[in-house]
Amino acid sequence: MAKRILIVDDSASVRQVAGMALTRAGYEVVEAVDGQDGLAKLSGKLHLIISDVNMPRLDGIGFLKAIKANPSYKFTPVIMLTTEAGEDMKNQGRSAGAKAWIIKPFQPQILLDAVAKLVLA
Amino acid sequence: MMPTDSVFVAALPILAKQIENARQQSEDAILALSTRFRGLVTRLDGAMAASEKGSGDGGRDLGNAMADGRTQLLTVIDALMAIRDSRAALITEIRSLNAFTAELADMGKEVEMIAFKTNMLALNAAIEAAHASGDVGRGFAVVANEVRQLSVASRTTGKCIVAKIEVITTALNSIVGANEQAVLKEAAAVKASETRIGNVLASFGGMTEKLLASAQEFRGEGEEIKNEVMESMVQLQFQDRVGQILSHVVERIADLGARGAASGGEAADERDGAADQYLADMAESYTTEEQRRIHLGGPAAEVAPQAAEFF
């Protein structure tokens, strides 16, 4: 059975690139357009979550904190996929419980390697 | 508050809308392009899978079909050769019958010879009967005449037997001759069939190899095109960065416009450090490294993909 991954990003083109790479690698992908939509899409078993940081309505850090406060998903690994490269923002992500930080633009293989590593962990 | 005037206040919101419109158009176009690229990759995947299936798991199915066809055609050749061999065996049998007919012909001639000798014996008996007198001589003459008639009949029968055997021998020789011709023709036909089948198989083998090579080349080209398209999709991620930068510019312009409007387009905030504070706030709100570099007066260095950082 395919492992389910939630992608939360307000950029449709990024969702497409990431979604296509993951789908071709055999994962089942659920998409959300921002943090608030991401929370609404939390249902069933999720093996991993990929989230942008800068998004309207609810940003990635707020979304990450909400996930970690949810007993059903607090142990689901989260990868932050963002244009943010500053150490302050990375520290916020690390403190909130992110497992990895990938800066856009990203190579799909780098994302797939990170996903494979965290899904198996 | 930054220095401002009424033109500034009136123009800024319009400029902000123009930039936002350009950003939105760019995002829509990039999304449409990305969607088309994704469709292309999906179709290429389908075409390559169909090609893989058509040539049968890297050509193994096609190769097996060729080998199977070769085996079946060689079975046909074997069957033709078996027919040829059975005809040769028939000829051998007929030749052995010929030997018997020769024996029968000799026996027929023997019968004829015995009849001839019996006739001679009957003639002598008739002569001796003529020398005898009275009833004994007449009776002897009747017997001698009957024996002579029998010998004549036997000789006629012997001749008939010899004649019939000659007819049979001629017919058998004719059959043997016809069969020998047929065997020669069949051997030539089998040989020609073998050659033709070999040529057809070689031709199909060559076509199969070309087909497989072509399919493999198609898949190789398809894979390269697919990778190119996927790489192009990766490049389209610039839109996300551009969108964020433009959104930030729009927000800041809107903010400046609002500030100007609040001051009636005339007042100027010239408190010590107000501009520095505003720029510091602006720097805090950046989301990309190139924004920060440009803010500090540096170049917007190229943004290259980086490795993942694990926590």
Contacting residues of A for B240, CB less than 8 Å apart: 9, 11, 13-14, 83, 104-105
Partner-chain residue, chosen from B38, B240, B289, that has the shortest CB–CB distance to A11: B240
Closest among A86, A89, A104 to A7, alpha carbons compared: A104
Contacting residues of B for A103, CB less than 8 Å apart: 305-306
pLDDT of amino acid B264: 66
Q: What is the DSSP string of B141-172?
A: HHHHHHHHHHHHHHHHHHHHHHHHHHHHHHHH
Are B237 and A106 within 8 A, CB to CB? yes
Q: How many CB pairs under 8 A join A and B?
A: 97
pLDDT of amino acid B265: 54
CA distance A10 to A32: 8
Are B234 and A104 within 8 A, CB to CB? no
Q: pLDDT confidence of B272, banded at 50, 70, 90? A: low
pLDDT of amino acid A39: 96
Task: Mutate one of B37, B237, B242, B289 to test the A interface: name it (highest A CB count within 10 A).
Answer: B237
Give the side-chain half-sphere CA count within 13 A for B173.
Answer: 9
> Which tokens belong to A76?
């689901």
CA distance B80 to B284: 92
Q: Which residue has the higher pLDDT, B269 or B130?
A: B130
pLDDT of amino acid B1: 45
pLDDT of amino acid B270: 59
Highest average pLDDT, of A60-74, B89-103, B242-256, comes from A60-74
B38 shares contact with chain A (CB less than 8 Å): yes
> Which tokens belong to B100?
């018997």
pLDDT digits (tens, 9 = 90+) for B124-177: 988 888 888 788 888 888 888 998 899 889 889 888 988 998 998 888 888 888
B236 shares contact with chain A (CB less than 8 Å): yes
Are A13 and B31 within 8 A, CB to CB? yes
Do A4 and A27 touch, CB atoms closer than 8 A? yes
List the single range of A31-45, B1-15, B65-79, B140-154 with lowest mean pLDDT.
B1-15
Q: Which residue has the higher pLDDT, B189 or A78?
A: A78
End-to-end CA distance of chain B: 42
Do B139 and B103 touch, CB atoms closer than 8 A? no
Contacting residues of B for A12, CB less than 8 Å apart: 27, 31, 34
- Flag whether pLDDT at B122 surpasses 50: yes
A57 shares contact with chain B (CB less than 8 Å): no
- Minimal C-alpha gap between A72 and chain B (Å): 22
Sole residue written with tokens 């449409």: B32
φ and ψ at residue A99, rounded to 5 degrees: -100, -25
Which residues in chain B (45-104) have CB-CB distances under 8 A to chain A?
45
pLDDT of amino acid A90: 93
| pLDDT, averaged across chain B | 84
CA B57 vs CA A8, A100, B49, B214: distances in Å: 38, 39, 10, 14
Rounded to two decimals, the ipTM of the complex is 0.90
pLDDT digits (tens, 9 = 90+) for B192-225: 888 888 888 888 888 888 888 888 888 888 889 9
Mean pLDDT by 10 residues, chain A (121 residues): 94 90 94 96 94 93 96 95 89 95 91 93 65
Percent of chain B at pLDDT exceeding 90: 5
- Flag whether pLDDT at B273 surpasses 70: yes
Q: Give the angle B252-B254-B260 at the CA atoms, nearest 5°.
A: 105
Are B310 and A16 within 8 A, CB to CB? no
- Minimal C-alpha gap between A38 and chain B (Å): 19
Do B278 and B2 touch, CB atoms closer than 8 A? yes
CA B6 vs CA A110, B263, B264, B266: distances in Å: 51, 10, 8, 7
Are B237 and A17 within 8 A, CB to CB? yes
What does DSSP assign to residue B268? Answer: -
Chain B, nearest residue to A107 by Cα: B305
